[in-house]
Structure 1
Amino acid sequence: MNAITPTRRNFLQSASLVLGMTLPLGKAASAAPAQSGLPFAPNAFVRVSPDNLVTVIIKHVEFGQGPATGLATLVADEMDADWSQIRVEMSPANDPLYKNLAFGTMGTGGSTAIGNSWLQMRSAGASAKAMLVEAAAKRWGVPAASIKVSKGVVSSGRRKASFGELAADAAQLKPPEKPVLKTPDQFTLIGRDTPRVDSVAKTNGTAMFTMDIQRPGMVHSAIAHPPAFGGTVKSVIDSAALAVPGVLAVKTIPHGVVVYARDSYAARKGVAALDVTWDLSKAEKRTTEELYAQFAEAAETPGKPVEKTGDTAAALRGAAKKLEAVYQFPYLAHAPMEPLDAVLEMNGDRLDVWLGSQFQVGELTAIAATLGVPFEKATLHQQFAGGSFGRRVTPAMEFAVEAALAFKAWGKGPVKHVWTRENDIRGGRYRPLAVHVVRGGLDPSGKIVAWDQVVAAQSFMKGTPMEGPELKNKGIDDALTEGIAESYKFANHYVGQHIMEAGVPTLWWRSVGNTHTAYAVETFVDQLLEMAGKDPVAGRLELMEDPRTRAVLARAAEIAGWGSKPPAGRARGVAAWKSFGSYVAQVAEVSKGADGLPKVHKVWVAVDCGIAVNPNVIRAQMESGIGYGLGHALYSEVELGEGGIVKQENFDSYRSLRIAEMPAVEVAILASDANPTGVGEPGLPPIAPAVANAWRKLTGKAVRRLPFAVGGRA
């Protein structure tokens, strides 16, 4: 993303100057207050204070997925600290110290938080422990090998000392070049259900989000965006807006028309009172149905090959039985509970930004550049964020730039810039609309001898700083077809893609391309297996080559009692998918609801995500992925109507899953000695196809257009 970190920020590499923003975590798990001159800061991630608190610096944003807990667990286990003495702080925006090792810059996404930090955070903890042990050995005049550490207590015979008591001595020592890490059999916290560090604060309301930030003299800003993507402001009549009590000013910026007010209510009222004439001459005016038709026409042709094995066309011609399906997947909004927001303030020549940033250096760089402030004079105060699902970071950092422009246009003091729910739902950066055309063939024995799948969708990477070499040089965007070629292997297998052009801004959305590729593959293979007279689980196991995928499928079937008869009026469906390095299989039990849509009673899940750092967080993320994915599969779509105008505006028209609709979920975590992989996204892809497969078994209806509310009512 071309985010540049000035070299003057490299002073942070000095251990004595490790900085971080304290997360306000509440009384029962409160973060240590920021202190200067801490005696023991052995690396960028660990601090030990004289009061025996261990502060872990977290480089990933916490928006509910649990990295603050998981990363602190890695450090605490290697230090043999007591969990009660662990506190967390959010790191500053600094790439040399805190970059995501998978990205090359600071950022949270792709379910990489634990995976990219697995050895890094453990090494930080092990290094700190080694220095504390060495300090104790020198103080007591004993060999380091004779010293034990358990639950934050360092001991040798009858001698004992806390981390805090040894901190000053340890600070005088040199960190080991290669600290010795524990073997899995030595773990004391990793693999256990340790309490989340943010639960208490989020329960009692003391957790601070950007929405909670107040600054002296702060004004509130709201914005009116063009009604169609690609539109611009032509003229504004602001007299009615300025007449709203509390409204202070109206300004036009490239993104739209901004209203400034003494409070957020007045700002929103001011926006509603604006009379804006929009120039829509260059806007995207096609409707959803027109886009579907054009995408489907493209998907009928081979496109650029992603995988080509054998002669699929010939195998299809000679197949004893054939099946063809066209799948339609709508634009989807992310709809995080906390919409996009930021607070900006200048103090002299220094810039302060309060933001739940997903790509800290990228967003702070964009804001500073927009305002003409040197990066080294800008400080990001990282906050909790109320969800993201991919929305809080874009290749061009548009919201960060918009907030900076709104602040610059005001020019009189701090500004809190907040999107309304309508801004969010109608604001673009959606999960791309996609069409799949899939063809399959069976030989007389029921063996799948041909699989042909072509996807037509937009690329949100093309033409951006995040465009990779595969896309730039070969015109192939892995996100369009990810997982298809790896799911099952056939003698004659073709996967192709068309990158389509549309004026609707798109973006990664929880589990990215797997949101639609898993659905098309897992529902289509289910139908082929049925045509072959094979059981959905047994048939998949015959096709699968990866032992870890086979294991999660077998385990999910086992805990669901696959093969037993479900209650009257219900059916079960299954799906399995690998994404972000993790393997997940799900069995869904479904009945027909009063509204003619699937009612999901229970979902059984088996997951293999490598070593389970915190099983409770893993279970929570599987449940979360199921709830989020199910709600969108059943109800959600963003539709472009006449003139390309978005029809949906708020949760009344962009329907989410309600709490009473959430199914019971049972999660089995498979034991593994592999390094940890992601859990934030892999729980989502299997849920929609598992429900669809159960629904087809129950009603005979194959759902090929999502959401079910549009294409699956029975």
Structure 2
Amino acid sequence: MKDFTPSRRSFLAGSAAAGAALVIGFNAKGALAAGHEGGLMPNPFVKIAPDGTVTVILKHFEMGQGTTTGLATLVAEEMDADWDAVQIEFAPADASKYANTLFGMQGTGGSTAMANSYMQYRQAGAAARAMLMEAASLEWAVRASEITIDKGVVSHGDVSATFGELVAKVKDTAEPPTEPILKEAKDFKLIGKDLLPRKDTPSKTDGTAIFAMDVAPEGTIYAVMARAPRFGGTVASFDDSAALDVPGVTAVKQTPKGIAVFAEDTWSAIQGRDTLSVEWDFTNAEGRSTEEMEAEYAAALDGDGPVARNDAGVEEALAGDNTVEAEFDFPFLAHAPMEPMTCTIQIKDGKAHIWDGSQFPTVTQMAVGAVTGVGQENTTIETVYAGGSFGRRANMDSDYHVEAAMAAVALGTDQPVKLVWTREDDVTGGYYRPMVKHRVKVAVGADGALAAWRSDVASKSIFTGTPMEQMMVHEGVDHASVEGVTDTQYAIPAMQVSVRNMETPVPVLWWRAVGNSHTAYAMEVGMDMAAEAAGADPVAFREGLLGGSPRLLGVLKLAAEKAGWGNDLPEGWGRGVAAHFSFNSYVAQVAEVSTDADGRVKLERIVAAVDCGVAVNPDVIRAQIEGGIGFGLGHAMRQKITFDGGEVVQSNFPDYEPLRITDMPEIEVHIVPSAEAPTGVGEPGLPPAAPAVANAIYNATGTRVLRLPMVDAGIEFA
């Protein structure tokens, strides 16, 4: 290529002053494709505007976990973009273009966003970089290899151009490289770097971020639903005369989900609902108390159930003299995200449009398309931010979307209908982490080594009866009921795991960390009990079982080292440890607690170590581990959902008490440097937290906490 060095002025004179944005993404066959906005580009992941703005299209939405920052980082890294010029935008709901490849549909959850998208977004960014360099190379008649890019400026010698100035120079016929060259880790400027400003923070701080609760198109009609106070109940009859007399109430309609009250505003709708006179049919409803359920769970564990794992030699080893036994009780738990369930729907001209912080867009499109009769293909979703979820917004029934659709259909309107759940609606009538009873028996050999482990679990299956049953339930075993046990990283010589699938109309759902939220507790408290029976140090005992899991062993050693394991503690203090593998990530935690003169417990400190592969955003990872610890501790300390006569007893935060700021211990998070592909961090921080604290409480007080919440086991917190 000939030597050519034009002046910056001459370059700009030949550039288009305005034009369409350049978009890069993947076509229906999964190959990289590019074009200018308005052309044939089907599913952009990156959009570069003539003003130099780089917009990253997010196929995973943001509910507080840091997706907006993480995915944008991948693109910006490979493009060498100016972080301040990078914007984010949620992708449209279209599984054919934006599917989570681990789910087979469009969705966010299971700590999969980064694991699913790491290479896709890097490749899209690298392809954009390559195309811009090629355009500059042709324009300047220089070799592309001689061109450099830094913070969105493309340079060669004394000539340079911004991304925006080069967009118009990319020909419509240009094609991105099929396998763009990705950066080596040593060249990263953003990935792995601390304190990169989050992309969602400014708008959430100044109030401009739009959440589902903020949506109010012109002409919106507000609705709330009266639901049966016992799960499985249905409407027998109702009188709406008093409701219709409430100022602001405009209509009352029965739907298959209950009775919808419509009004000019949410408060009027709630007031109207409170005046409804309803007769409920409880023929097929839950009518038991929590105590009655627990008795049935215990009786079920005395019988047989489907076997998830059955190694040889378990019964022989458990017949030995040195065994420990424990029965763990875990309550139903509500998700209780800060923003309750809400969405807005408009059915007009044969189409349904939804505004929502949508976690499973594909499921919602199918469900709403069926209810409204417009079909999935005519159901669109405008995704906005969600104020937390912890699994609640990702149910396979798409419950609150379906309720909104049924309400709109019943009203027969083409105006937008906004359905709002109150906190009480969700706590008393939502979905729950299953109640679980888990019996453990462990044998320790004469040599002090763990010889056998048996776990018997009683729980309602999460996946049975859902579209995911075929994938997640095998020979009567729901993987979610026993994950964290059957796939333990500990080299246990002989292990037996069985389940009892309990029945109740109470709807259950994945909850942050799913089955690991309870199995890790049984495993790690049980492991401490086994270590005590062996007369071994809890950390050393675990290390002896992790020779085949170097990454879990690594975080265990790191957490113990950073926490000063083995160092003396003040009088009345205790230290405990837990390590767990979930969502392909490895986390260990060491907890320290203190007791006062009255025996009350205070959580002092938790040291966590995490190995989640490449740490794309260390600050986000730390925040997620800290948040997971806080979320897990809040539920382990005080929270529970109980039933009396089939009705939920708790209703809001006063009696479903969350973690207080005074409860939160000092937390240190140490991230293991890794070149492995990134894995999840939204959930893995939760499972080890409660058992580490429980083991610390035992170390301080001699009390084994086998029942959650801990206050129900007699633990009083300072």
Bin the TM-score by the shorter chain. Answer: over 0.9
- Aligned residues of 1:39 and 1:49 also touching (Cα < 8 A): no
The verdict on how the C-alpha distance between 1:15 and 1:150 changes in structure 2, with shifts beyond 3 A counting, is closer
Identify the residue that residue 145 of structure 1 maps to in structure 2.
145
Which stretch has the larger CA shift, 56-65 or 486-495? 486-495
1:708 is aligned, of 689, 707, 710, to 710
Q: CA-to-partner distance for each residue in 1:27-57, whole Å, 9 max, x for gaps?
A: xxxxxxxxx9479979620000010000000
Distance 1:67 1:40 in 2: 27
Other structure's SS at 1:161 match: strand
Determine the structure 2 residue equivalent to 1:108.
108
What is the letter of the counterpart of residue 164 of structure 1? G
AA aligned opposite 1:128: A
Q: Secondary structure at the match of 1:245?
A: coil
| Residue equivalent to 1:181 | 182
Distance 1:595 1:180 in 2: 64
User: How far does the alpha carbon of each residue in 1:500-541 deviate from its partner, in whole angstroms, 9 at most, with x for none?
Assistant: 222111000000000110000100110110122111111111
**For 2:294, which of 292, 295, 304 is the aligned residue?**
292
**What is the alpha-carbon distance in structure 2 between the residues aligned to residue 470 and residue 650 of structure 1?**
33
Distance 1:593 1:289, change over 3 A: farther
Residue aligning to 1:638: 641
Once the two structures are overlaid, the 10-residue window that deviates more, 517-526 or 539-548, is 539-548
Amino acid at match of 2:562: I
Could you tell me whether the CA contact under 8 Å between 1:38 and 1:47 is conserved in 2?
Answer: no
Q: Which residue of 2 aligns with 1:525?
A: 527
Determine which of 552, 556, 567 is the counterpart of 2:555: 552
- For residue 140 of structure 1, report the CA deviation from its aligned partner: 0.5
The aligned counterpart of 1:424 is 426
Matches within 5 A, 1:146-545: 146-172=146-172, 173-193=174-194, 194-317=196-319, 319-412=320-413, 413-469=415-471, 471=473, 473-485=474-486, 486-544=488-546, 545=548
Letter in 1 for 2:257: H
The 4+ residue runs of structure 1 with deviation greater than 4 A are: 14-19, 36-43, 593-597
RMSD: 1.9
Instruction: Using the TM superposition, name which of 599-608 and 409-418 deviates more.
Output: 409-418
Match of 2:83 in 1: 83
Instruction: Check the 8 A contact 2:22/2:47 in 1, yes or no.
Output: no
Which moves more between the two structures, 681-690 or 400-409? 400-409
Partners of 2:462 and 2:492 in 1: how far apart? Answer: 30
Q: 1:575 to 1:84 in 2, by over 3 A?
A: same
For 2:689 and 2:102, the matched residues in 1 are separated by 27
Equivalence for 2:93: 93
CA contact (8 A) 1:326 1:438 kept: yes
Alignment check: 8 A CA contact 2:23 2:44 kept = no
CA distance in 2, matches of 1:40, 1:124: 17
Tell me the CA shift for residue 263 of structure 1.
0.9
Whichever residue aligns with residue 331 of structure 1, its letter is F
Shift of 1:352: 2.1
Change (3 A) 1:492 1:17: closer
The structure-2 alpha-carbon separation of the partners of 1:476 and 1:269, relative to structure 1 and needing over 3 Å to count, comes to: same
Per the alignment, in what secondary structure is the counterpart of residue 520 of structure 1?
A: helix
Q: Which moved more, 1:166-175 or 1:458-467?
A: 166-175
C-alpha spacing 1:397/1:407, structure 2 compared with 1 (3 Å)? same
Per the TM alignment, residue 171 of structure 1 is displaced from its structure 2 partner at its CA by 4.7
CA contact (8 A) 1:246 1:261 kept: yes
On the 8 A contact 1:429/1:506 being kept in 2, the answer is yes
1:623 is aligned to 2:633: no
Cα shift at 1:470: 5.5
Structure 1 position 187, deviation (Å): 1.2
Quick one: distance in 2 between partners of 1:475 and 1:351? 38
Please say which of residues 616-625 and 213-222 is displaced more in the overlay: 213-222
Match of 1:4 in 2: none
Aligned-pair CA distance for 1:569: 2.2
Are the equivalent residues in 2 in contact too, given 1:40–1:170 (CA < 8 A)?
Answer: no
- The 2-side partners of 1:142 and 1:603 are apart by 56
Q: Structure 1 pair 331/122, CA: closer, same or farther in 2 (3 Å)?
A: same
- Kept in 2, the 8 Å contact 1:131–1:170? The answer is yes
Q: CA deviation at 1:712?
A: 3.8
Question: What is the DSSP-based 3-state SS (H/G/I as helix, E as strand, rest coil) of the residue aligned with 1:484?
Answer: coil
Is contact 1:43-1:124 (8 Å) kept? no
Question: Could you tell which deviates more after superposition, 334-343 or 357-366?
Answer: 357-366
List runs of 5+ in structure 1 lacking aligned partners. Answer: 1-13, 20-35
Q: 1:597 to 1:255 in 2, by over 3 A?
A: farther
Give the letter aligned to residue 106 of structure 2: M
Name structure 2 gaps, 5 residues minimum: 1-20, 27-35
Amino acid at match of 1:640: F
Asked if 1:563 corresponds to 2:566, the answer is yes
1:674-693 map, 5 Å: 674-693=676-695
Note if contact 2:441-2:453 (Cα within 8 Å) is conserved in structure 1.
Answer: yes
Instruction: Give percent identity, aligned residues only.
Output: 49
For the Cα contact (< 8 Å) 1:597–1:708, is it kept in 2? Answer: no
SS at match of 1:445: coil
Q: Is 1:656–2:663 an aligned residue pair?
A: no
- Tell me, what secondary structure is at the counterpart of 1:392? helix
C-alpha distance in structure 1 between counterparts of 2:42 and 2:370, whole Å: 33
- Residue in 1 that maps onto 2:8: none
Could you say what secondary structure the match of 2:297 adopts? helix
Q: Which residue in the other structure is 2:7 paired with?
A: none
SS in 2 for 1:660: coil
Q: In the alignment, residue 383 of structure 1 is paired with which amino acid?
A: V
The alpha carbon displacement at 1:597 in A equals 5.5
Give the deviation of 1:374 after TM superposition: 3.9
CA distance in 2, matches of 1:203, 1:593: 39
What TM-score, normalized by structure 2, do the two folds share? 0.92
Letter in 1 for 2:619: N
Q: Is the 8 A contact 2:462 2:478 kept in 1?
A: no
Shift of 1:437: 0.9
Tell me what 1:580 maps to.
Answer: 583
| SS at structure 1 position matched to 2:168 | helix
Task: Supply the distance in 1 between the matched residues of 2:595 and 2:40 (Cα, whole angstroms).
Answer: 61
Query: What amino acid does structure 2 have at the position aligned with 1:283?
Result: A
Give me the whole-angstrom Cα distance separating, in 2, the residues matched to 1:573 and 1:230: 42
Deviations 1:143-201 (A, max 9, x none): 11111111111111212111000011225311111111112112111001211001111
C-alpha change, 1:40 and 1:129, in structure 2 (3 Å) is: farther
Contact 1:300 1:437 in 2 (8 A): no
User: Relative to structure 1, is the Cα distance of residues 180 and 646 closer, same or farther in structure 2, using a 3 angstrom cutoff?
Assistant: same
Deviation readout 1:381-407 (Å, 9 max, x if unpaired)? 101000000000112222211110011
Change (3 A) 1:446 1:363: same
Confirm or deny that 1:611 pairs with 2:597: no
Distance 1:447 1:18 in 2: 54
Normalised by the length of structure 1, the TM-score is: 0.93
Distance 1:251 1:560 in 2: 59
Name the amino acid aligned to 1:406: A
Secondary structure of the structure 1 residue equivalent to 2:393: coil
Comparing 359-368 and 454-463, the one that deviates more: 359-368
1:590 and 2:603 aligned? no
Residues 24 and 127, structure 2, Cα contact 8 Å, conserved in 1: no
Q: Which residue of 2 aligns with 1:30?
A: none
CA–CA separation in structure 2 for the residues paired with 1:447 and 1:433? 32
Alpha-carbon deviation of 1:297?
Answer: 2.1
Equivalent-residue separation in structure 1 for 2:50 and 2:642 (angstroms): 58
Aligned length: 682
